[in-house]
């Protein structure tokens, strides 16, 4: 009997963050729906109680059904029969159980049969799902595409599709093409308007589409003939019931093998335009990707959780030289670092989710009524923070998932290299997280702006201002010193005004911001819950200090003219 | 077609995790010392009923349980998974009931519920392992029964087809509605609790629970009618007190013995005919089999 919510006190800690009061009050519009829906909360405590209960259900389904199926799903995987994807039997069972448990359409409004839960709750369920089966986490979390449909679709589209998602139909986002990966502006899939039938028609090929045989697709296509860049792209909704899209093949991947990655052919597929023409990439897909990046942060965090549990269990059990290997410093250090990186990952995951919650809900409220000036300020503040924290967290958490699963195998020694233990699966699954939805290198491109404009720095100062328990004074002083280093490093690079050089050092600057931000967040967690987080706060700050000083040394001793030794000719 | 389905369920002590104070000195189960759970095979029964409800929209699924006031948990658990309503049969008069008195009380309650097409219950409860209550209820109601069901295959033209799991194989049988089915533990597990239903029914309480529990949300029972759980006494179901509880129970526990498994040594044999034959002879000789 395992419940992935109840056995993990850090989830409960993050669910009960002080900012939740504001988030829930906004999300529930001051609890106005209690009159109308017999499952809507009456007040904050009632809502939190419901989140608790639903997280417990999610933890139960994931712990009891998804986790035991994971190994078999990894080995069996999906297949293509007559141009359609057939999921592994375990995947079918997982989808059925999560649907029966009512865990689809978690964050959709009640009027479309959703639960109207905040992003924090949705992300928490993803975090748990990834710990059990990272591939399944994708299929389940793609329900978040409904968020984009809700944000930009018209009322008829919302009514047509969102209740179907809430009833368990799956979604996909069809973006990538053979020649348009990181550079989505190059998308070629053609959308033409069919006057006779008053609909759009899609023709072309998409590649690397996660869950590409889903029920409802969001498709990026070129609607403006003759254009070559992102401004000629629009977003479309394709309904599988209409037909016209076939699965040519699925990729044979290294990891997340339960999640089918499809090559799709569109032959005159009927589609609806979602939102306005030409805004497909520049507005809608950017929003879609931000949501997806948060989802991948959760996936990476869940994988780190799995790696930590597997590593510590093995190290306690395995005896060499007459004692458990966990007693050797070389091993316990690795475990302490895995745990610290895990706790740090979770800290920024939920901090970012809260930022996203506040601004997204306010944006939604803005469609209903005019916002008060202070609400507008609030929206602006959190939108900027979400924009800054999403790429930072995506970069940090997915790299940590790789490091943690790698170390998990290392702790297992030779056994970890065998298929007998799940750590090799975690390792393979983690490898994609810092690649898809934007590689770490691309997250750095998004995050460096906030290094240069000072978003991270001012947030560090906000954290520094927090009143904490005196026991944390030592760590806080050490962190303040790191901020000083960071404050010197940024202008040192930026003042060169040499864009190529700034790009060259960008990852180092973003990482130092990441180390400091994550350290502060762990400090806040330790302040609110010393028992759970004070060890990780100590370990992480020590690690962060060494990392930031390493970066400082590198940047300070680097001669701009040395770039030529790196540049490949 | 829509069906009226009644599911019989029991709250039982979780005998899968037994501590040393699990039994009282008089040999009866110390229910206070064990966590109370939904009897596992009754969950299998509930799942069969929920599948019928999925297949035949408009069907109603009513839970019926007998027990102390805290057995209202069983009704709530059922509602969280998709049952439409439920009745808790609770009264001091029912205390100490054996299978005969239990099935008497249940059948009176079923008569009060009214017309039904199907009654589904678990094969047996893990606290008594008698497997008698389901069949006795059917007898008292004068309807047919199909026991050890693993799967309700179909319902068509007033006939039900059921796959039974028996010791030496399976059997597909057909029966005429209304009838009672008892479900085996080998049937599919019950589906999880549902996120929306748990929010809808989490404050569902019986009248007596509302009297004893002080909760800020008690007043909402007036605004949301669905969360008032029905509670029936012996008088409510016109049950004869003499046939209920201890006085209606011919079964008396005479003696309880603690059985301690004493495995002396393990023995490994290979799959050769000779070794298997030797083992069979040994087991027959010491009366383990035969």
Distance from CA of B224 to the nearest CA of A (A): 7
B197: chain A residues, CB-CB within 8 Å? 39, 102
Q: Please identify every stretch of chain A with a pLDDT value under 50, giving residue numbers as ranges.
A: none
Bond from prior residue into A329 cis (ω within 30 degrees of 0): no
- State the pTM of this model: 0.93
pLDDT of residue B227: 79
Contact call for B198 and A54, based on CB within 8 A: yes
Cβ distance A57 to B194 less than 8 Å, yes or no, reads yes
CA distance A198 to chain B (A): 36
C-alpha closest to that of A488 among A469, A516, A467, A466: A516
Interface of B with A (CB under 8 A): 191-200, 202, 217, 220, 224, 226
Residue with tokens 């009891």: A64
E-assigned strand segments in A281-430: 319-320, 323-324
Q: How close A42 gets to chain B, by Cα (Å)? A: 9
Write out chain B residues lying below 8 Å of A93, CB-based: none
CA distance linking residue A536 with residue A318, whole number of Å? 24
Quick one: angle between helices B40-55 and B72-81, nearest 10?
40
Instruction: Give CA–CA dist B149/B181, Å, rounded.
Output: 7
Structure tokens at A407: 């170390």
Burial (Cβ within 10 Å: 0-12, 13-18, ≥19) of residue A139: buried
Question: For position B226, what pLDDT does the model report?
Answer: 61
Minimum-distance CB partner of A38 among B194, B195, B224: B224
Chain B interface test: which of A39, A124, A143 (most B C-beta within 10 Å)? A39
Q: Is A413 left (phi over 0), alpha (psi -120 to 50) or beta?
A: left
Domains and CATH numbers, chain A: 9-167+282-430 (1.20.140.10), 171-279 (2.40.110.10), 440-565 (1.20.120.470)
Option in A39, A40, A61 nearest B192 (CB): A61
Q: Does the structure show a pLDDT above 80 at B240?
A: yes
Q: How far is Cα of residue A212 from the mean position of the Cα atoms in its chain?
A: 19
Q: Are strands B228-232 and B159-166 parallel, antiparallel or unpaired?
A: unpaired
Q: For residue range A301-329, list pLDDT tens digits in order.
A: 999 999 999 999 999 999 999 999 999 99
pLDDT surpasses 70 at B210: yes
Question: At which residue do the structure tokens 């201002």 appear?
Answer: A465
Percentage of chain B with pLDDT > 90? 66
Q: Determine the topology of domain B4-248 in CATH.
A: Rossmann fold (3.40.50)
Q: Which residues of A touch B196 (CB under 8 A)?
A: 39, 102, 115
Q: How confident is the model at residue B219 (pLDDT cuts 50, 70, 90)?
A: low
Supply the pLDDT for residue B285. Answer: 86
pLDDT score for B118: 98
Determine the Cα–Cα distance for residues A457 and A488; give it in Å rounded to an integer. Answer: 11
Whether B86 shows a pLDDT value over 90: the answer reads: yes
CA distance A498 to B78: 67
Cross-chain Cβ contact A42/B198 below 8 Å: no
Mutate to test the interface with A, among B16, B84, B196, B202 (most CBs of A within 10 A): B196
pLDDT in tens, B25-51: 766 677 777 889 999 999 999 999 999
Q: What's the pLDDT tens digit per position in A474-518? A: 999 999 999 999 999 999 999 999 999 999 999 999 999 999 999
Size of chain A, expressed as the number of residues it contains: 569
Nearest to B192 among A39, A49, A100 (CB): A100
What is the DSSP secondary-structure string of B83-129? Answer: --EEEEE--GGGTT--HHHHHHHHHHHHHHH---SEEEEES--TTT-
Of A50, A97, A103, the CB nearest to B199: A50
Question: Number of A:B CB contacts under 8 A?
Answer: 51
Name which of B10-14, B77-81, B113-117 the model is least confident about.
Answer: B10-14
Residue of B nearest to A41 (CA): B199
Best of A35, A57, A94, A107 to substitute, by most chain B Cβ atoms within 10 angstroms, is A57
Instruction: Say if strands A261-274 and A233-239 run parallel, antiparallel, or are unpaired.
Output: antiparallel
Least Cα separation, residue B136 to chain A (angstroms)? 33
User: By three-state DSSP, how is residue A216 classified?
Assistant: strand
Please tell me which of the candidates B191, B192, B198 has its beta carbon nearest to residue A53. B198
DSSP secondary-structure letter at B190? P
Neighbouring C-beta atoms of residue A323, cutoff 10 Å = 10
Does B198 sit within 8 Å of A57, measured CB to CB? Answer: yes
Compute the half-sphere exposure of residue A200: CA atoms within 13 Å on the CB side of its CA.
24
Determine the pLDDT at residue B222.
Answer: 65
Which of A3, A40, A46 best probes binding to B when mutated, by most B CB atoms within 10 angstroms?
A: A46
CA A356 – CA A362 distance, rounded (Å)? 10
pLDDT at B209 > cutoff 90:
no
Q: How far is A47 from chain B (nearest CA, A)?
A: 9
Based on its alpha-carbon atoms, the radius of gyration of chain A, rounded to whole angstroms, reads 24
Return all residues near B278 (Cβ < 8 A) that are at least 6 apart.
Answer: B269
pLDDT of residue B259: 75
pLDDT band for B262, please (50, 70, 90 cuts).
confident
Measured CA to CA in angstroms, residue A25 lies from A21, A22, A28, A361 at distances of 6, 5, 5, 10
Residue of A6, A51, A54 to mutate when probing chain B, most B C-beta within 10 A: A54
Contact B196 A115 (CB under 8 A): yes
CB contact under 8 A, B224 and A46: no
**Residue in chain A nearest B226 by alpha carbon:** A38
Rounded to a whole number of angstroms, the distance from the CA of A61 to the nearest CA of chain B is 7
How far is B79 from chain A, CA to nearest CA, in Å? Answer: 13
Looking at the complex, report in whole angstroms how far the Cα of residue A148 sits from the nearest Cα belonging to chain B: 23
Contacts of B195 in chain A (CB under 8 A): 54, 57-58, 101-103, 106, 115
Reduce the DSSP state of residue A237 to 3 states and report it: strand
CB contact under 8 A, B197 and A39: yes
Question: B interface mutation test: which of A38, A43, A98 has the most B CBs within 10 A?
Answer: A38
Yes or no, beta carbons of B217 and A60 under 8 Å apart? no
Contact call for A41 and B198, based on CB within 8 A? no
Task: Give the pLDDT score at B225.
Answer: 63
In the numeric block, the tokens 């706060």 are attached to A537
Question: How far is B192 from chain A, CA to nearest CA, in Å?
Answer: 5
Yes or no, beta carbons of A115 and B195 under 8 Å apart = yes
State the smallest CA–CA distance between residue B261 and chain A in angstroms: 25
Name the residue ranges covered by the structural domains of chain B: 4-248
Structural tokens at position A16? 């009960």
Please report the pLDDT score of residue A199 as a whole number.
95
Out of A39, A40, A57, whose CB is closest to B192?
A57
Distance from CA of B113 to the nearest CA of A (A): 25
Q: Do B226 and A101 make contact, defined as CB atoms within 8 angstroms?
A: no
* Cα distance between residue B195 and residue A510, in whole Å: 39
């Amino acid at each position: 009997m395992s419940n992935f919510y109840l056995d993990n006190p850090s989830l409960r800690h993050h669910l009960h963050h002080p900012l939740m009061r504001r988030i829930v009050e906004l999300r529930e519009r001051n609890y106005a729906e209690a009159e109308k829906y017999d499952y809507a909360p009456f007040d904050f405590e009632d809502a939190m109680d419901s989140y608790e209960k639903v997280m417990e259900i999610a933890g139960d389904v994931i712990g009891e059904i998804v986790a035991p199926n994971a190994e078999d799903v990894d080995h069996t995987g999906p297949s293509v029969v007559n141009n359609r994807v057939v999921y592994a039997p375990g995947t079918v069972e997982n989808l059925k159980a999560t649907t029966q448990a009512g865990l689809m359409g978690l964050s959709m409004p009640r009027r479309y049969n959703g639960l109207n839960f905040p992003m924090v709750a949705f992300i928490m369920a993803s975090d748990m799902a990834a710990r059990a089966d990272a591939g399944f986490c994708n299929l389940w979390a793609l329900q978040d595409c409904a968020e984009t449909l809700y944000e930009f679709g018209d009322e008829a589209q919302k009514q047509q599709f969102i209740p179907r998602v809430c009833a368990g139909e799956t979604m996909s986002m069809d973006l990538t093409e053979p020649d348009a990966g990181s550079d989505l502006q190059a998308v070629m899939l053609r959308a033409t308007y069919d006057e006779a039938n008053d609909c759009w028609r899609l023709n072309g090929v998409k590649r690397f589409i996660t869950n590409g045989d889903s029920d409802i697709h969001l498709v990026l296509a070129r609607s403006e003939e003759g254009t070559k860049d992102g401004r000629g792209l629009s977003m479309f909704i394709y309904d599988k019931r209409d037909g016209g899209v076939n699965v040519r093949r699925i990729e044979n991947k290294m990891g997340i093998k339960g999640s089918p990655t499809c090559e799709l052919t569109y032959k005159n597929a009927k589609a609806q335009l979602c939102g306005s023409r030409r805004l497909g990439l520049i507005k809608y897909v950017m929003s879609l990707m931000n949501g997806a990046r948060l989802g991948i942060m959760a996936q990476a965090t869940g994988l780190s959780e799995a790696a930590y549990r597997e590593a510590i269990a093995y190290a306690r059990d395995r005896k060499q030289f007459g004692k458990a290997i966990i007693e050797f410093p070389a091993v316990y250090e690795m475990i302490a670092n895995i745990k610290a990186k895990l706790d740090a990952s979770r800290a920024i995951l939920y901090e970012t989710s809260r930022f996203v919650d506040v601004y997204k809900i306010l944006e939604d409220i803005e469609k209903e009524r005019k916002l008060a000036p202070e609400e507008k300020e609030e929206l602006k503040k959190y939108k900027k923070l979400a924009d800054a924290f999403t790429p930072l967290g995506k970069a940090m958490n997915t790299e940590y998932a790789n490091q943690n699963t790698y170390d998990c195998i290392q702790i297992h020694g030779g056994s970890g290299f065998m298929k007998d233990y799940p750590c090799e699966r975690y390792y393979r699954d983690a490898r994609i997280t810092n690649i898809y939805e934007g590689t770490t290198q691309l997250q750095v491109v998004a995050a460096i702006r906030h290094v240069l404009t000072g978003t991270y720095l001012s947030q560090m100062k906000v954290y520094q201002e927090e009143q904490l328990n005196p026991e944390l004074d030592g760590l806080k002083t050490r962190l303040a010193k790191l901020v000083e280093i960071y404050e010197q490093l940024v202008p040192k690079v930026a003042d060169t005004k040499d864009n190529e050089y700034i790009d060259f050092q960008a990852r180092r600057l973003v990482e130092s911001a990441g180390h400091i931000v994550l350290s502060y967040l762990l400090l806040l967690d330790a302040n609110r819950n010393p028992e759970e987080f004070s060890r990780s706060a100590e370990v992480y700050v020590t690690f962060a200090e060494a990392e930031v000083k390493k970066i400082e040394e590198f940047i300070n001793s680097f001669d701009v003219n040395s770039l030529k030794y790196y540049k490949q000719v | 077609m829509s069906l009226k389905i009644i599911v019989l369920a029991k709250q039982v002590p979780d005998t899968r995790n037994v501590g040393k104070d699990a039994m009282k000195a008089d040999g009866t189960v110390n229910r206070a010392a064990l966590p109370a759970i939904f009897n596992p095979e009754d969950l299998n029964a509930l799942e069969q009923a929920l599948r019928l409800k999925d297949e035949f929209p408009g069907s109603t699924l009513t839970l019926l349980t007998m027990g102390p006031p805290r057995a209202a948990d069983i009704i709530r658990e059922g509602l969280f998974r998709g049952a439409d309503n439920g009745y808790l049969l609770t009264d001091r008069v029912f205390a100490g009931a054996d299978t005969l008195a239990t099935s008497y009380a249940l059948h009176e309650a079923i008569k009060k519920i009214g017309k039904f097409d199907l009654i589904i219950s678990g094969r047996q409860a893990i606290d008594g392992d008698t497997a008698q209550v389901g069949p006795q209820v059917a007898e008292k109601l004068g309807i047919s029964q199909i026991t050890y069901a693993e799967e309700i295959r179909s319902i068509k033209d007033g006939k039900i087809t059921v796959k039974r799991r028996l010791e030496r194989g399976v059997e597909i049988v057909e029966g005429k509605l209304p009838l009672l089915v008892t479900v085996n533990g080998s049937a599919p597990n019950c589906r999880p609790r549902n996120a929306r239903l748990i929010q809808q029914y989490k404050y569902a309480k019986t009248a007596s629970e509302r009297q004893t529990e002080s909760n800020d949300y008690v007043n909402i029972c007036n605004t949301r009618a669905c969360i008032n759980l029905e509670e029936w006494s012996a008088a409510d179901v016109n049950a004869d007190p003499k046939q209920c509880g201890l006085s209606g129970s011919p079964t008396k526990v005479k003696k309880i013995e603690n059985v301690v498994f004493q495995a002396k040594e393990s023995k490994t044999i290979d799959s050769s005919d000779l070794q298997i034959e030797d083992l069979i002879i040994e087991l027959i000789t010491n009366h383990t089999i035969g």
